């Protein structure tokens, strides 16, 4: 990925994380939408498989939380914990883009994406059950 696009993502992602850290839980998801929105804008300028994966994972977690919103209060997981974890992992993704291309490894990126997938899963019925049992831990 071209340096200018990596820097653009780093800047936008860090701004979104800062706003997520300041926001109430309900508004954190609004700022998180920057992650897939900006990924899509950069994909329109330069194709990159890893960025396509970032787009899909971040869009899925956003959709999953929105879709589950009416029943989330019934799940055995504190939503504040979910949003706190989402903010932390979003920060990790911003950290990844703040590094130079040679510093950030694909393994590091995939670990961040796996954490995001875990958050999306924990707000599902089975995921919250596994969280309650202690199988999934934040």
- In this prediction, residue 43 carries a pLDDT of 98
Binned at pLDDT 50, 70 and 90, residue 18 comes out as very high
Q: Where are the alpha helices (DSSP H) in the chain?
A: 3-22, 25-45, 49-72, 79-98, 106-122, 125-133
Tens-place pLDDT, residues 44-91:
999 999 999 999 999 999 999 998 877 877 878 888 899 999 999 999
Q: Any idea where the domains of the chain sit in the sequence? A: 3-133
Give the residue-averaged pLDDT of 23-28: 89
Are 17 and 91 spatial neighbours (Cβ–Cβ below 8 Å)? yes
Torsion sign, CA atoms 28, 66, 83, 32: negative
Alpha-carbon distance 27 to 45, whole Å?
Answer: 29
Are 17 and 39 spatial neighbours (Cβ–Cβ below 8 Å)? no
- Count, residues in the chain: 138
- Asked if the model's pLDDT at residue 102 lies above 80, the reply is no
């Amino acid at each position: 990925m071209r340096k200018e696009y990596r820097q653009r993502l780093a800047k936008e992602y860090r701004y979104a994380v800062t706003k997520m850290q300041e926001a109430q839980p309900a508004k954190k998801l609004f700022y998180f939408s920057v992650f897939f929105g900006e990924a899509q804008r950069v994909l329109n300028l330069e194709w990159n498989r890893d960025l396509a994966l970032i787009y899909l994972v971040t869009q899925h977690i956003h959709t999953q939380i929105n879709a589950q919103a009416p029943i989330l209060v019934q799940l055995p997981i504190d939503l504040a914990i979910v949003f706190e974890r989402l903010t932390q992992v979003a920060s990790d993704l911003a950290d990844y883009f703040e590094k130079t291309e040679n510093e950030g490894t694909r393994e590091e990126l995939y670990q961040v994406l796996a954490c995001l997938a875990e958050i999306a899963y924990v707000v599902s019925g089975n995921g919250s059950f596994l969280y309650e049992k202690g199988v999934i831990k934040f």
